[in-house]
A and B are shown apart, each in its own frame.
Chain A
Amino acid sequence: MAPRKRITMHDHAAEASLFKRRALFTFVCVILLLGILLSNLYHLQIRSYTDYETRSNDNRIRVVPVAPSRGLIFDRHGKILAENQPFFTLELTPEKVKNIPETLARLSKIIPISADEQEDFTKSLKYHRRFKPLTLKTPLTEEQVAIFSVNQHDFPGISVVAGLKRHYPYNGLMTHALGYVGRINDKDKLRLQKEDKWKDYAGTKYIGKQGIEKFYENLLHGKPGHLEEEVNNRGRTIRTLKSVAPEPGQDIYLTLDLELQKKALELLDGRRGSVVAIDPRDGGILAMVSSPTYDPNQFVHGISSKAYGGLLNSRARPLINRATQGQYAPASTIKPHLALLGLDEKIVTPKTRVWDPGYWQIPGVERKYLDWKRWGHGWVDVNTALMGSCDTYFYDLAYKTGVDKIASFMRPFGFGERTGVDIFEESAGNMPSKDWKRMRYNQPWYIGDTISVGIGQGYWTTTPLQLANAAAIMANKGRRLVPHMLSSIKDNTSKIDSPVDEMAPIILNDQNNWDIINESMMNTAHKSRFKDAGYTAAMKTGTAQVFSVAEDEKYDAETIDEYLKDNALIIAYAPYENPEIVLAVVLENAGWGGVNAGPVARALLDEYMLRDNLEFN
């Protein structure tokens, strides 16, 4: 016991001082370790402060884009063609509604909610943040808005929210010229990203899809604003920190004339066809009609696939803008231009006479090219050939000129090229040449092809806009203005006129030839359709075969299928001395140009000329 006791004997003083040394050592360690914590805090809070401050702000600040309101579109007299209409949406905030099915059942007693709407709502409810409002029904009628407003106190958590949607008050009247807006789709998104404009569309739902709405998207759209909101970790908005108002899109004025457009569509009366009217003094398009038309408003909120399929598959093809995309044989409407070529290239003179027995033959070839007048026009010169639209005269002229010379003379009039009008939906038509045929069909050019071109048939195709434009150049005696629809842009209170795009004029070898041809066109008008008009006018009609009638067959309008009947065309302008309006009318499968297209042209020029006179008086 004793020895063991000695072993366990404690040296208290030594143990105490040993402990003190160890305690001091640990205290130094504590200070060192706290130093490590402190230097890490210094690193976080001082050296990396800006970085973490940014990340903290990224956490809590949400930037909510605010879409600008789209610019309005007016006609030349300030009549509104495209406007932004308020529409109302019924929204439900899930967290504020205790019993959703019960509430919906009560709600549907005062506002009908269809099974589809219910299903859509229930579906999206699952993936929705409970504090964010969810669409229940859109759009509401004004009556429904009123009914709900009266009963609102019975439906906490449900509210009516107003928005703006594009509306075209004249429905189908302007569809092909104005186009329409629709919801931004993936293709639009890709394009905007490529053009580095996607950020401007963060809050925007609609974008121009066609026509003016698409072409002037940049003017009409405006600049978005934004709200800076403070949000918590679940995305709930706590408060708004900053708000930058959007810059609305610019209002634009078009050269279109609402009344003339109305009249034109009325005159087409549902028939397939197109009217283009241009003011030759500045190239402004007064009317652009394509019939049949459709209501662009149905595209704004998204058209049903059934309705769209109906439009897409309709044999009348309403979706096509016939004015700029319809490609028609110009037929006799280009005889004035061919005559001008003949005179200017000295292939004929004003006095040159041709004998028309009712047909024409290539020298030494048996085949007969028939004139539309079976018994022939007899002796014709350039004036009578134009007035009577003598085919034989122009067969002969084309044969003597050759297709390449025709093509190179016609191209400056805009044939075979896009006019550059301010919508994207435009076709170039076709101005044939030997090279073109070899490229296109890998076939040589035959003389017979030239003969067809001589009466505006065969491979030659034009759009109604090209015809009107070529007629305007004729009426302007070579002055060339790019046809356009934008007139001016509204800037605060004043209007800024859009500059007129003028190309180098066509200078003839003998400028007097313009007068000779225009005079013949005036004679044509005043001998027939414009005999009793209260103003001077000039015109040329055309009747285009849609399919070839064999030599020994007779074209019989009564028995032939509707879609194989001839197209009726006319170009006309007024007044003759100082043209203010040039127009081209194409009526598909309507038959004779003079008989069918003529009255449309006359009525339109009457409308325009006589109304103007009234205004002056």
Chain B
Amino acid sequence: MTARSFSRRHLLAGAGALSLAALPSGRARAAGALTVGFIYVGPKDDYGYNQAHAQAAKALKGMPGLEVIEEERVPETNAVEKTMESMINLDGATLLFPTSFGYYSPYLLTQAKKNPKIQFRHCGGLWTEKDPKNAGSYFGYIAQGQYLNGIVAAHASKSKKIGFVGAKPIPQVLNNINAFLLGAQSVEPSITCQVIFTGEWSLAVKEAEATNALIDGGADVITCHVDSPKVVVETASRRGAFVCGYHVDQSPLAPQKYLTGAEWNWLPIYEDFIAAMQAGKGPQNFVRGGLADGYVKMSPYGPGVSEVARKNADAVKAEMMKGGYAIIKGPLKDNTGKEILAAGTAYPEKAAELESTRYLVAGVKGSV
């Protein structure tokens, strides 16, 4: 420490450095290693959205020349800016993955402008050409997984009623609900899906109440789109209903009642970003993909899935693996009777219209 000009700032910095030196387990960073920071909005072991990212982070930890740092339960407030700054300043991170949707604006954008040499990649589809070039987005077409969930659900359902616990009526959730029902209706056109919105991403009590209400209403296969499907999966299986998973594999929570699930697979995206960084290039700004790209995958089939159901789902999955699959295709009406698409038209997976979905398709009981 050479303190030539002595100011208050230096004094503080010096105090910080001293306390760092005093650390018994001060970390020695390998020279030239790339440090990557992951930021999660909830706990890493939530059997849900955050765990999907944390699993990928864990898989990365063995990679040579790479250091992975993580921080969980960071709220979508200016606290996340401080977490980003802290990872950059104290840990030397040069690639950051703030994974929660609400981190993007204004927090990630502010930090990206402030730190032009640091790369920020955000989970979601928010990045546009107007945004800083050292920022970017990645996301997966997971509605494909919910469509396959629906196929398997329809085969397992005896009451021909299935249920969906949703967090908020926003486009991403609505797409999943629509895909779940349309998948089911591709097997059994008379099937209906009741949806209950809890209003928030993580509300365990309401999620349990919603699951119970769906089952009381006659639904015998349940799926969901909340941050942590743990409560929904456990409640449904305890009540004897089948469940389809979301975000990650929840089969350990309900080994007998778990049919299959729509899972994220973020690892290939992260590996690509890191490979680009290690090659000295900036990682891509906008990455999207579905089953065909390996960004979305299905949980292994559970014991409740019949042979017919497996064959049916596998056949559709093979179609999806070719790319460009359209779940939303005409003729299609919403559940108020309004036409969404005329016969012969379709929204394939990459269609921009799917980013602003405001409807529930005919057969879904519930309102936006």
Q: Do A and B come from one complex?
A: no
